[in-house]
Amino acid sequence: MSQREKPDIEELLNSFIDGELTERERTEVQRLITHDEQVAKRLRELQKTQMLVGSLPRAEAPAQIMNGIKASLEREKVSDEPVWSVERFEKRAGARHLLARKVLAAAAMIGLVAIFGGVIYTIVAPDADYRAGMPTVAFSGRVELKTNALMEVNAFINRAIEDNGLSDCVSLESRGNRRVYSITCSREDLNLLLADLANIWERFDSSTLFVEAKSQGKQVVVNGVSAEQISKLITIPKPDLTSGVEPNEKPTGKQVPQKQVHLSIVVAGSE
Amino acid sequence: MIGKDVTEAVNINIDDAVLIERCRQGDSAAIERLILKYQNRIYNVILRICANNDDAAELTQDTFVKIIEKISEFEGRSSFYTWAFRIAVNLTLNYCQRSVRHGSTSLDAENDEHTRQAKQQLKEFLTDESCPDPAMLAQNKEMYEILGKALMKLDDVHRAVVILRDIEGMNYARIAQVLDVELGTVKSRLSRARSNLRNIMEAMLQ
């Protein structure tokens, strides 16, 4: 065995402890232990560390886990009905009832644009950073959600983050009964996540969106906001001033696909 | 990538195979049995990796929902047990990666009599030159709290490997499958993890 191939002595000792060596390797380690007190001492140290970790008491899974799983699965069943996000279903397996969803999404878009026209204008109005061409996120907001099913809701959000491959785009802060998910990703990805969250929105007792409107130096607050409405707000791009489009014109749908958006989801409440 | 011989060495447990088939057909009793069979082990591994009861409960719930949703995709190339733990560990490691915890207490802040005794007991156990004495490890809450804190100071991947080995009792080949890494990576991570853990404990007990 060349020096390069020779396994690290620590690895050998650990493998020895764990019964992972071949008979020949085992004999070799036993010979080493007999002739080298340092190696024998190190083996005892590693054995103790292993024994210590292995002796940690085992906890029983909380009884509510079973009910939580059942509730989540039930909800998944119910949420298999058509929802508002076209992209989600084009991307996800099946693409069922696509035509119906397109019609629904178009109707929802018209309605939402009408209802939230004022809010949208306030949010998308150009700000100083944007005019100066500074790198900035296309949308930045915070939605505060209150629920009395905190564990269930957080489990759902975590799964939605996983399912949409957004783990690397999210940082999570936990403080008591409050979780803050800070998400910075593309509009499309955030839309997919919001499409998932729409399925659990009814579990929130209140939902309030806060968006900084820099041009007017104030904060826009939308009470009772839905996931669909947030999705609409982030989908409408800021106007392109260089093309002469007026800020109050209806957005043309011209998107900047690589533009990042930021949303902090604050979930608070009780179990 | 896992070696071919490792993959083929694991056969599906016959009880699991029956349960899985029933689960695929939507048999809720089978789903419940599958959950009951594995929930404690999965919960324990998650709990030791993330060190928070509420998070562990959520992640365990999340793991089983994902298992049930994806059970039709389970092909039996590894055992169900390995597949289930891969889901659990991946979810937990991803969660740890994006999670920032607040309010963790240091040992210095807990220098009450019980903690001092536990520290002394642990120090004696670690420094005693004689062979390990299992009697030293009588269930001692404070001592395990120190150990839990030391584990949390390890990198997530090192903590995961040491927990899968020393708490769940998996062999190296299975750990490699669960973590989707080479066997050599398991050996080196475990070696590094135990060495670091010992150093961390020694520093905490100073």
Joined tokens for residue A268: 């608070």
Amino acid at A74: E
What was the pLDDT predicted at A148? 80
Helix (H, G, I), strand (E, B) or coil at A59: coil
Best mutation target, B32, B61, B92, B96, to test chain A (most A CBs within 10 A): B61
Tell me what the pLDDT averaged over chain B comes to: 83
Q: Which residue has the higher pLDDT, A115 or A68?
A: A68
Put simply, the answer to whether A69 touches B61 (Cβ < 8 Å) is yes
Taking the domains of chain B in order of start, what are their residue ranges?
A: 4-101+153-204
Same domain, A256 and A125: yes
What was the pLDDT predicted at B86? 96
Residue among B97, B99, B162 minimizing CB distance to A53: B162
Pick from A3-12, A73-82, A221-230: least confident: A73-82
Q: Which residue has the higher pLDDT, A105 or A144?
A: A144
Q: What are phi and psi of A174, to 5 degrees?
A: -115, 130
Each residue's pLDDT tens digit, B57-88:
999 999 999 999 999 888 877 889 999 999 99
B47 has a pLDDT exceeding 90: yes
Q: Whole-model pTM? A: 0.60
What was the pLDDT predicted at B85? 96
Helix (H, G, I), strand (E, B) or coil at A223: strand
Separation between Cα atoms, residue B203 and residue A61, nearest integer Å: 32
Decide if A68 touches B, using CB distance below 8 A.
yes
Q: Which residue has the higher pLDDT, A229 or A17?
A: A17
B94 interaction partners in chain A (CB closer than 8 Å)? 162, 167
B125 interaction partners in chain A (CB closer than 8 Å)? 48, 52
Q: Is residue A109 part of a domain?
A: no
Put simply, the answer to whether A59 touches B148 (Cβ < 8 Å) is no
Percent of residues, chain B, with pLDDT higher than 70: 82
Tell me what the pLDDT averaged over chain A comes to: 73
Quick one: which of B177, B173, B206, B172 has its CA closest to B193? B172
What was the pLDDT predicted at A197? 87
B202 has a pLDDT exceeding 60: yes
Residue among A14, A58, A59 minimizing CB distance to B190: A14
What was the pLDDT predicted at A240? 41
Buried/exposed A73-105: b ≥16 CB within 10 Å, e otherwise: eebeeeeeeebbbbbbbeeeeeeeeeeebeebb
Give how many domains chain A has, as a whole number.
Answer: 2
A10 has a pLDDT exceeding 60: yes
Each residue's pLDDT tens digit, A82-140:
332 333 333 443 333 444 455 556 566 665 556 655 565 555 555 444 444 444 567 88
Q: How many CB atoms are closer than 10 A to CB B70?
A: 11
Put simply, the answer to whether B54 touches A151 (Cβ < 8 Å) is yes
What was the pLDDT predicted at A215? 54
Q: Is residue A20 part of a domain?
A: yes
User: What is the enclosing helix (H) or strand (E) of A152?
Assistant: helix A150-163
Q: Which residue has the higher pLDDT, B170 or B99?
A: B170
Same domain, A47 and A144: no
Residue among B61, B66, B100 minimizing CB distance to A68: B61
Residue among B36, B147, B172 minimizing CB distance to A56: B147
What was the pLDDT predicted at B188? 95
Separation between Cα atoms, residue A52 and residue B50, nearest integer Å: 18
Each residue's pLDDT tens digit, B81-135:
999 999 999 999 999 888 765 444 454 545 677 778 778 878 888 877 665 565 6
Min CA distance, A86 vs chain B (Å)? 22
Per-residue pLDDT band at B54 (split at 50, 70, 90): very high
Amino acid at A98: L
The torsion defined by the Cα of B66, B67, B69 and B71, in degrees rounded to 10, comes to 150
Domain extent at residue A26: 9-54
Separation between Cα atoms, residue B97 and residue B110, nearest integer Å: 27
Same domain, A38 and A157: no
Put simply, the answer to whether A69 touches B125 (Cβ < 8 Å) is no
Pairing of strands A204-213, A178-186: unpaired
Per-residue pLDDT band at A250 (split at 50, 70, 90): very low
Min CA distance, B113 vs chain A (Å)? 21
B7 has a pLDDT exceeding 60: no
Put simply, the answer to whether A55 touches B137 (Cβ < 8 Å) is yes
Each residue's pLDDT tens digit, A151-200:
778 877 887 887 788 887 888 887 777 888 888 888 888 888 888 888 88
What was the pLDDT predicted at B82? 94
For B31, name the nearest residue in chain A, comparing CA atoms only.
A70
- Given 3.90.1570.30, 3.40.50.620, 1.10.1740.10, 3.10.129.10, which CATH number is that of B4-101+153-204? 1.10.1740.10
Average pLDDT over residues A262-266: 89
Quick one: which of A167, A204, A208, A173 has its CA closest to B62? A167
Separation between Cα atoms, residue B165 and residue B96, nearest integer Å: 19
Same domain, A138 and A216: yes
Joined tokens for residue B109: 């802040």
Tokens 């475990």 belong to B190
Q: How far is CA A146 from CA A176, A183, A267, B170, in A?
A: 14, 18, 6, 41
Average pLDDT over residues A9-16: 94
For B51, name the nearest residue in chain A, comparing CA atoms only.
A59
A12 has a pLDDT exceeding 90: yes
Q: What is the CA radius of gyration of chain B?
A: 19
- Count of alpha carbons within 13 Å of B160, Cβ hemisphere only? 26
Percent of residues, chain B, with pLDDT higher than 90: 52
Each residue's pLDDT tens digit, B145-168:
889 999 999 999 999 999 999 999
Q: Is the Cβ–Cβ distance between B49 and B167 less than 8 Å? A: no
Q: How many inter-chain contacts (A to B, CB under 8 Å) are there?
A: 161
Decide if A35 touches B, using CB distance below 8 A.
no
Same domain, A136 and A265: yes
Min CA distance, B21 vs chain A (Å)? 18
Each residue's pLDDT tens digit, A14-50:
999 999 999 999 999 999 999 999 999 999 999 989 9
Q: How far is CA B184 from CA A11, A27, B1, B82, B175, in A?
A: 9, 21, 11, 18, 11
Decide if A180 touches B, using CB distance below 8 A.
no
